Structure 1
Amino acid sequence: MSANTAKAGLTYPSLADAPNVPSNMQTLASQLDGMVIPKYASASALSTANPSPASGDLCYRTDLNAYLTYDGTAWQQIGPLGAWTTYVPTWTAATTNPSLGNGTITSRWCRVGRLIHWMGQLQAGSTTTGGSGVWFISIPVAAASNGIQMIGTADYVNSGDNEYLGAVEIQSGLTTVAFIVKTSQSSQSTFPVSATVPVTLSANTKLVWNISYEAAS
């Protein structure tokens, strides 16, 4: 009669069992398959190999350098926890997209579970143009569709002129942020940032932001 190991419960034959190496090896391999953490290079590779995951399944995504677990609804990243990663966002506008030219845009982000911490900076250059319409900047991970507007801090600095404090906002379920700032030092009004708000874009323009939000997955 076959027996089982004490810790993992792996099945092995006893001396009284009839010899059947192929069957015994198949049984062992099947049990080990559920214990070994597989590696995948992308989300598509994961979904192809495991199209119907069970709650509690684990895997490692080499493109994310992180472990994921299936919570019964979606794959959730569980590591590396809190590791900061560089992300270069995409800068767009409602009507005509800006051109970065010799300006710079960069950001850093990290995650703990589905909590995303993200900070970034846009520095205009002498050949940067702001396009037309409200500005949008892409976020590193899509926001959760939770029905909540997520808000962080933003600062529009026009060197040599003024500093315009405001907020960075992510609407529920979106993949971009917009910026709302005061339009003057004494004004109580706020407006969305664009090529002309709060002032006309120039090489002196710098926009910085910091926000924490819930990720979609």
Structure 2
Amino acid sequence: MRAPESISSSPYVVELDPPPGASIPLRSYITKAQKVLQQFVDVLGRPDMAKPVPEPEPPPPAPVLDGSSGATAAAYAATHDTLQTHSAAWQLAHPEVDSSVRRTRTISGEALKEVKEHIEGLKDALRAGGVLMMVSYPTPAIPAPRLSPSMERPLAMLTYRTMVRVASVVSFAAMAALVSDLKYPEIPDPSPELVPPPTPPKPEKWTEPPKTFEV
């Protein structure tokens, strides 16, 4: 559990619960991942990261009707002027809408949305591992055994990939916000018990040598 002051200053509190039956190495790795992910999230809470999202390129000018004259050209010009007038009038009448959108859409806010999606996906996977154990061993009187290596290894690799993805999102956001004085946490590797064993090479298919015939 994090200190209350650190929770209040963070835009999002990361809480990862190891699934029931998780081994000590997996529990330890999930705890490390929670701390690392929280450090990345805290970067997005810095005031200098709350910069407006860069404005998109302005749309190209309206096409001009070449070769038109008379009533066609006059109608086109009148329609174009009317649209511009209504657009400008609407923006003047509702300045709070445009300013509110610009104020709420910040680089850190957009990055935090993507970070949350990655972390919530990991939390769903960890919960699914626990549900699978409860379904396999529903009787409370029987202590649930630990998760099998075939179940823990994918969870460990997903935890690792989530940290990598979150690190990528935060680093790109920092680049967009022109913030360079950042020190990112080191992403830990899973312990050897949580790494899938290497796939043994397939044995070469034996082929019978061609028969020779004596003359």
TM-score, with structure 1 as normaliser: 0.19
Answer 1 or 2: which has greater strand percent: 1
Higher gyration radius (CA): 2
Answer 1 or 2: higher relative contact order, Cα 8 Å, separation at least 6: 2
TM-score, with structure 2 as normaliser: 0.19
